C-alpha cells in the first residue's frame, strides 16, 4: 500500500460526492489514517466514519488560523504525526468582473488562498520535526486558462494564487524533506455539476475534451495519492494537470 502507516489531513473533505472525500477514501484504501476537516454543517465526523475505523473527523474553519492550529494539534494527539495535507477546501461563485463585491472577493479568496496558507502553516512544524511531509494544494484549470464554467475572475485569481504560494513554499521547505505540489482539476462531475449542467451541455463540453468525458472525483483523488506517496519522492513545486486534455500547454 502506498500510504501504509501515514497520517493524512484533507480539508473540505466531508462532501460525499466531492474531491476531498474521494481523496480521503483512496488514501484510506492505501493504508493511511485520515483526518477529514470541514465545517460543522458538513458533518466531518460522519464522513470519517464512512471510511471505517481508525479515522478522524474534525470541525475546522480554514479561514481561521487558531481553528487550523487546533485541528492540527488534535490530529497529532490522535495519531502522533502528520505526513500529508491536502488543501482541498474552496468555494466558487459564477459572476463577472463588474459584479464582484468586496465581500464576494474576501469570501472566495479567504477559503481557497488564505485557507491554504493557514492550514499549511498549521502542519509544517510537525513535518519539519519529522524532516518529511507532503502537501498537495488543489488549484484549478481556471487559474491556467483564465476562467472556467462555474467560477468568476476572483475564483481564477484565488486558484492562481494557490499555484504561486505552493511553488514558493516548495522552494522554502524542500531542503527539509517537505514536498509541496499542486493539482489543477478540469471540469469534474460533482454535486455542483449535477445541479447546473444538463445532459446536452455535458455532451457539448465532452466533445471539446480529448479524452471525451468530464472528470470524476476519483481522477483527482488518484493524483493526490500519487503526490502524497513515495512514488512522487522527487516531485516538488510541480503542477499536475488532471483535465482530460481540456488544456494542453
Identify the three-state secondary structure at position 56: strand
Q: Given pLDDT bands bounded at 50, 70 and 90, which one contains residue 244? A: very high
194, pLDDT greater than 70: no
Asked about 155 being catalytic, the answer comes back as yes
pLDDT tens, position by position, 133-178: 999 999 999 999 998 777 899 999 999 999 999 999 999 999 999 9
pLDDT score for 195: 67
- Break the chain into its structural domains and give their ranges: 7-239
Identify the three-state secondary structure at position 69: helix
> In this structure, which CATH number among 3.40.50.720, 3.40.50.150, 3.30.540.10, 3.40.50.300 belongs to the domain 7-239?
3.40.50.720
Q: Given pLDDT bands bounded at 50, 70 and 90, which one contains residue 192? A: low
pLDDT score for 44: 98
Could you give the CA distance from residue 59 to residue 76 in angstroms, rounded to a whole number? 15
Q: How far is CA 151 from CA 144, 155, 225, in A?
A: 13, 5, 26
Catalytic residue among 105, 118, 155, 234: 155
Regarding pTM above 0.95, the answer is: yes
Q: For residue 204, which phi and psi values (nearest 5 degrees)?
A: -65, -45
pLDDT tens, position by position, 33-91: 999 999 999 999 999 999 999 999 999 999 999 999 999 999 999 999 999 999 999 99
Amino acid at each position: 500500500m502506498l500510504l501504509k502507516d501515514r497520517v493524512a489531513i484533507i480539508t473540505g473533505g466531508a462532501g460525499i460526492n466531492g474531491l476531498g472525500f474521494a481523496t480521503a477514501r483512496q488514501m484510506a484504501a492505501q493504508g493511511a489514517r485520515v483526518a477529514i476537516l470541514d465545517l460543522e454543517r458538513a458533518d466531518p465526523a460522519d464522513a470519517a466514519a464512512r471510511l471505517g475505523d481508525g479515522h478522524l473527523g474534525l470541525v475546522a474553519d480554514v479561514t481561521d488560523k487558531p481553528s487550523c492550529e487546533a485541528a492540527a494539534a488534535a490530529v497529532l494527539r490522535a495519531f502522533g504525526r502528520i505526513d500529508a495535507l491536502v488543501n482541498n477546501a474552496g468555494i466558487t461563485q459564477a459572476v463577472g468582473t463588474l459584479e464582484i463585491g468586496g465581500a464576494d472577493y474576501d469570501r472566495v479568496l479567504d477559503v481557497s488562498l488564505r485557507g491554504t496558507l493557514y492550514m499549511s502553516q498549521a502542519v509544517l512544524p510537525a513535518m519539519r520535526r519529522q524532516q518529511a511531509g507532503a502537501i498537495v494544494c488543489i488549484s484549478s484549470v481556471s487559474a491556467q486558462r483564465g476562467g472556467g464554467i462555474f467560477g468568476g475572475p476572483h475564483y481564477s485569481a484565488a486558484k492562481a494564487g494557490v499555484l504561486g504560494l505552493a511553488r514558493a513554499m516548495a522552494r522554502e521547505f524542500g531542503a527539509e524533506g517537505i514536498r509541496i505540489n499542486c493539482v489543477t482539476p478540469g471540469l469534474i462531475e460533482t454535486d455542483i455539476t449535477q445541479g447546473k449542467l444538463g445532459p446536452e451541455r455535458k455532451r457539448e463540453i465532452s466533445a471539446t475534451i480529448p479524452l471525451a468525458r468530464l472528470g470524476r472525483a476519483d481522477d483527482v483523488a488518484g493524483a493526490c495519492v500519487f503526490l502524497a506517496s513515495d512514488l512522487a519522492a522527487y516531485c516538488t513545486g510541480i503542477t499536475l494537470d488532471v483535465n482530460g486534455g481540456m488544456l494542453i500547454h
